[in-house]
Amino acid sequence: MAAQRVMVAMSGGVDSSVAAALVKEAGHDVVGVTLRLWGGESDSGCCSVSDVDDARRVADTLGIDHHVFNMGEDFDRHVVEPYVADHAAGRTPNPCIECNRHIKFDRLLRRARSLGFDRLATGHHARLVDMPDGTRRIARAADQAKDQSYVLYMLGQDVLAALDLPVGEMPKHEVRERAAGLGLRTADKPDSQDVCFITSASRSEGGRQEFLGRRIPLTPGRVLDGSGSEVGRVDAVEMVTLGQRKGMELAGGDGPRYATAVDTAMATVTVGPAEDLFVDTTVVERAEWAVGSVTGRVLAQTSAHGQSASAVLESGGRDGQVVVIWDEPHRRVAPGQSVVFYEGDLVLGGALAC
């Protein structure tokens, strides 16, 4: 490939640091960009002051220019506000997916194009596969334990055509070794695992509830069993996720009980045994596809690092819904969580559980 202008999204972590190094080694004109997304207190993810400083110092080491783009308003509108609204409605959001959808691969890519860049590169652990028909697909990373293809399912051909994922073919230990060999300060930096706008200190002290409580009323609620009898209470129904076991004050019972339904309007949580969580079908909505809508047999994955399961997709016949028919009973998916569809290692698309 001839030399091109490439913007590298640098989060301050080791993966994006090595991605920038690899793009430069390939002979391209590279500029690193770090996004300032969250104006509040933060000490994790790609939002903290230390992460911005790490990205800047890595860029200095690599000899590339580095800029910081403030996209806080977009982040608040497209990530934080929907996160709060989903909790208020009893849904379980995935803010990292929404950040990818609206910020990194929409707003940032449009900014890159407006500034004359040819391509955008990130440090995601996923591969890009060029298909015989000229399309591109996201595929699972070489390092299956670090695979991030699940959170990239929404990327269409317009984005994929301009995208590079330089570390997707590398196992994580090799990424760290490369960073160490280049003398990058991020070589041993731990991976970020958490929601960047909720601090690690507050997470250990109920930070998510505190965060939401400053933005929406949190409603104490009743916990009911399958017969409708009250068996306990919760401090905030908005904080309960389908499948949750802890955090509910339950009386009696012969064994573990899990949240099988959350009704924020009625301020109730229904609980039952583990077998009540398993279903034969899952209805999903807002499907997005790499090339075109898909029906028939697929592999479906319901969490970022979960195991995929065999299923058949059928049109839901209403508002673009899709019905996932599992080969074997499958644990229910919390409303708002993504179900991602694969053919082998290739991402076909995904949708949100209803």
> Could you report the per-residue pLDDT of 305-335, keeping only the tens digit for each?
999 999 999 998 777 799 999 999 999 999 9
Are 223 and 254 contained in the same domain?
A: yes
Q: What is the mean pLDDT of residues 224-231?
A: 92
Q: What is the pLDDT of residue 255?
A: 83
For residues 218 and 163, what is the distance between their CA atoms, to the nearest angstrom?
A: 41
Are 232 and 290 contained in the same domain?
A: no
Q: What is the mean pLDDT of residues 154-172?
A: 97
Closest alpha carbon to 330 in 286, 290, 299, 288: 299
Query: What CATH number is associated with residue 246?
Result: 2.30.30
For residues 3 and 6, what is the distance between their CA atoms, to the nearest angstrom?
A: 9
**Count of domains in the chain?**
3
Are 338 and 239 contained in the same domain?
A: no
Confidence of residue 202 (pLDDT cuts 50, 70, 90): very low
- 129 occurs within a structural domain: no
Are 295 and 267 contained in the same domain?
A: no
Q: What is the pLDDT of residue 191?
A: 86
Are 89 and 38 contained in the same domain?
A: yes
Which listed residue (46, 47, 96, 99) is catalytic? 99
Q: Would you say residue 269 has pLDDT above 80?
A: yes
301 neighbors 348 (Cβ within 8 angstroms): no
pLDDT in tens, 42-86: 445 555 678 899 999 999 999 999 999 999 999 999 999 999 999
Please report where in the chains the tokens 């640098």 appear, as a residue.
Answer: 10
Are 39 and 108 contained in the same domain?
A: yes
Query: What CATH number is associated with residue 54?
Result: 3.40.50.620
Are 66 and 173 contained in the same domain?
A: yes
The lowest-confidence range among 199-213, 236-250, 258-272 is: 199-213
Confidence of residue 40 (pLDDT cuts 50, 70, 90): low
- 128 occurs within a structural domain: no
For residues 36 and 295, what is the distance between their CA atoms, to the nearest angstrom?
A: 39
pLDDT in tens, 111-138: 999 999 999 999 999 999 999 999 999 9
Are 253 and 290 contained in the same domain?
A: no
CB count, 10 Å around CB of 92?
18
Supply 340's token pair. 């991602």
Give me the domain span that covers residue 248.
218-272
Q: Is 189 helix (H, G, I), strand (E, B) or coil?
A: coil
More confident residue, 246 or 298: 298
Q: Give the whole-number percent of the chain exceeding pLDDT 70.
A: 94
- 193 occurs within a structural domain: no
For residues 99 and 192, what is the distance between their CA atoms, to the nearest angstrom?
A: 15
Which listed residue (46, 47, 96, 196) is catalytic? 196
For residues 163 and 122, what is the distance between their CA atoms, to the nearest angstrom?
A: 8
Are 322 and 294 contained in the same domain?
A: yes
More confident residue, 60 or 191: 60
- 247 occurs within a structural domain: yes
pTM over 0.85: yes
Q: Known catalytic residue: 196? A: yes
Question: 101-115: buried (b, 16+ CB within 10 Å) or exposed (e) per residue?
Answer: bbbbbbbbbebbeee
Q: Give the whole-number percent of the chain exceeding pLDDT 90.
A: 83
Are 105 and 223 contained in the same domain?
A: no
Are 68 and 119 contained in the same domain?
A: yes
For residues 164 and 119, what is the distance between their CA atoms, to the nearest angstrom?
A: 7
Supply 289's token pair. 């596809």
Supply 74's token pair. 């977009």
